Amino acid sequence: MELCDIPAYELSLLLRQKQISAEEITRACLERIDAVDGRSGALDSGSLTPEDEQKVHAFITITRESALNQARAVDQKLAAGDDPGLLAGIPFTTKDIFCVRGTPSTAASRILANYTAPYTATPVTRMEAAGAVMLGKVNLDEFTYGSSNESSAFQPAPRNPWNPAHVPGGSSGGSASSVAAGEAALSLGTDTAGSIRQPAAFCGVVGVKPTYGRVSRYGLIAFGSSLDCPGPVARNVVDAALMLQVIAGADPRDSTAANVPVPDYLAQLDGGVKGLRIGLSPDYFRIAFPDPQTGEYREQPLPVDIETPVLRAAEVLASLGAEIVEDVPMPNTRYGIPAYFVISRVEAASNLHRYDGVKYGYRTPQRTGDLTKLYRQTRNEGFGLQPKLRILMGMYVSAAQYSAQYYQRALRVRTLIRRDFEQAFDRSGKYRLDALLTPTTPTTAFKMGAVYGDSVLMQYADQLTVPANHAGIPGLSLPGGLDAERLPVGIQLLGPDFSEDMLLRIGRAYELATQTEDWRKVKPLVLR
């Protein structure tokens, strides 16, 4: 096995035993990037070549030299006998929605393409302080607005390492694809409706959406400020726990970062599931979505390929001593997307007003007579269609005359979604769950071009992940098998506020129990 394919935790042990150096790890990852990534995403990059269609294209910016320097600094610390930090020498990528000092921080948008961040986001600062080595900034949907990465202004967009004809998911598609392809051991993503968990499921890796406030948002280019959660993407649960350990915790620079002690995630990881109550809800085994032709709402069961791995996981957990609680009602699940269409758009429109061609970022090269014209031309040229769509919808549903029927109503529906979880997790209630086990996505990775352009259908890819964002609770997606086309299927664990330790523990138990299963031996297509 090549160094770049070894999980972070094992790399860390090998490094401390001085069997390998941090520079060797970094070089192995850079070689993998050279072998499978193809050209990085760029503006106005021309049409796709047949070779492009076989590559991963996870990156926008590769920070080769600074990565090697960071790795050498770790090696020097080790040689001097100093503690190099919990993530010493571990290569990671950063979704290009985080500011990192001295790097282009683009949000995959033309409007920020020339922006070089003058400061670094807290989660990245913490990764680097723990000795992790940043290999670069990875691609995403423009401003995170999508579930496939196809909306990035930086093309070629990332492709799924398991089959490059398929999307990697989104919006943290570059994060998930870079980890799945062995380009990096870890990636820092964000999740506003499922943007860590959905691409993690599509790419066969582990993704954690922490509790809202568990990880600081300082330095994150904002989308939905009441929903955005930075979190880890990793190749297994141990690595995800290791990364969360480093990035979690209060931050004086983010007053919404919760003042809650961070438990020792690794110490509790092998605690097993004996006696835990894990729920299954019929409301997570069907989807309701508007028919693309008629607009009528249709409800249908999930495909068998999606349902089976979840039920199998329940059996595995039961055999390990967990108690499976069936028929847990989560009746407001189906309203997650309609409420999200309103709440996230209002927050997005508000957050996007700052991009005006005056203070930083893109400014129209056209000569404009007055400031209003400058704003309009800059925003028209700088934003792609998806940001424009969100701004317009946000303004409409929050307008004085419509706010009560749309925005205020959506916020009250959000309360109902939260109550579903409170009732399921209530310690003295009927169900008393430690976690809810669900599929992560209604389908496996769809083909490039199959959904893009239909903004409604695209949003419904997040139907099973978005309730956790409304409720603020943590969610973990982990690989649960492969479908008939050998594309990964994700299973999801949801738990009460700040129960990441419990979710990681359950995930680890499942991972260990299924370690030798045949589907785990199959590699992504780009690595075969």
Q: Which of residues 331-390 bind other proteins (CB under 8 A)?
A: 332, 334-335, 337-339, 341-342, 349, 353, 356-363, 368-377, 379-380, 383, 385, 388-389
Residue 285 neighbours by CB distance under 10 Å: 17
Query: Segment 88-127, which members bind other proteins (CB under 8 A)?
Result: 115-116, 118
Residue of 519, 143, 504, 86 lying closest to 305 (CA atoms): 519
> How far, in Å, CA of 504 to CA of 9, rounded?
15
Query: Segment 156-185, which members bind other proteins (CB under 8 A)?
Result: none
> How far, in Å, CA of 208 to CA of 433, rounded?
19
Q: Which of 459, 465, 477, 492 binds other proteins (CB under 8 A)?
A: 459
User: Which CB atom, from 205 or from 342, has the smaller least distance to other proteins?
Assistant: 342
User: Which CB atom, from 162 or from 498, has the smaller least distance to other proteins?
Assistant: 498
Q: Which two tokens stand for residue 517?
A: 């299963």
Q: Which residues contact 291 (CB under 8 A, 6 or more apart)?
A: 297, 298
Is 424 a binding residue for other proteins by CB under 8 A? The answer is no
The one catalytic residue among 12, 55, 95, 152:
95
Q: Given the rule CB under 8 A, which of 11-19, 327-335, 435-443, 510-518 is the region that contacts other proteins?
A: 327-335
Minimum distance from residue 291 beta carbon to other proteins (Å): 10
DSSP 379-414: HHHHS-HHHHHHHHHHHHHHSTTTTIIIIIHHHHHH
User: Which CB atom, from 162 or from 406, has the smaller least distance to other proteins?
Assistant: 406
Q: Classify residue 283 as left (phi > 0), alpha (psi -120 to 50) or beta.
A: alpha
Q: Given the rule CB under 8 A, which of 309-317, 391-399, 478-486, 511-519 is the region that contacts other proteins?
A: 391-399
The one catalytic residue among 105, 151, 195, 216:
195
Residue of 312, 326, 345, 352 lying closest to 479 (CA atoms): 312
Minimum distance from residue 492 beta carbon to other proteins (Å): 17
Chain centroid to Cα 519, Å, comes to: 23
User: Which CB atom, from 46 or from 118, has the smaller least distance to other proteins?
Assistant: 118
> Which letter does DSSP use for residue 264 in this model?
-
Told to judge if 477 belongs to the known catalytic residues of this protein, a careful annotator would answer: no
The one catalytic residue among 109, 152, 171, 344:
171
For other proteins, how many residues bind (rule: CB under 8 A)? 81
Query: Segment 498-517, which members bind other proteins (CB under 8 A)?
Result: none
User: Which CB atom, from 187 or from 459, has the smaller least distance to other proteins?
Assistant: 459
> How far, in Å, CA of 206 to CA of 199, rounded?
9
By three-state DSSP, how is residue 447 classified?
Answer: strand
Is 150 a binding residue for other proteins by CB under 8 A? The answer is no
Q: Torsions phi, psi of 466, nearest 5? A: -65, -30
Q: In DSSP terms, which residues pair with 289 in a beta bridge?
A: 298
Chain centroid to Cα 236, Å, comes to: 15
Query: Segment 216-245, which members bind other proteins (CB under 8 A)?
Result: 226
By three-state DSSP, how is residue 331 classified?
Answer: coil
Minimum distance from residue 437 beta carbon to other proteins (Å): 20
Residue of 478, 460, 420 lying closest to 196 (CA atoms): 478
Is 456 a binding residue for other proteins by CB under 8 A? The answer is yes
Told to judge if 95 belongs to the known catalytic residues of this protein, a careful annotator would answer: yes
Distances (CA, A) of 125 to 72, 189, 376: 18, 14, 35
Told to judge if 350 belongs to the known catalytic residues of this protein, a careful annotator would answer: no
Q: Given the rule CB under 8 A, which of 24-32, 150-158, 201-209, 470-478 is the region that contacts other proteins?
A: 470-478
Is 211 a binding residue for other proteins by CB under 8 A? The answer is yes
> How far, in Å, CA of 11 to CA of 526, rounded?
22
Is 193 a binding residue for other proteins by CB under 8 A? The answer is no
User: Which CB atom, from 76 or from 380, has the smaller least distance to other proteins?
Assistant: 380
Burial of 315 (0-12, 13-18, 19+ CB in 10 A): exposed
Minimum distance from residue 390 beta carbon to other proteins (Å): 10
Is 326 a binding residue for other proteins by CB under 8 A? The answer is no
Is 16 a binding residue for other proteins by CB under 8 A? The answer is no
Torsion angle (degrees, nearest 10) of CA 409, 411, 414, 419: -90
Is 450 a binding residue for other proteins by CB under 8 A? The answer is no
Query: Segment 242-301, which members bind other proteins (CB under 8 A)?
Result: 250, 252, 255-260, 290, 295, 297
CB 416 within 8 A of CB 467: no
Minimum distance from residue 204 beta carbon to other proteins (Å): 28
| Residues annotated catalytic, as ranges | 95, 171, 195
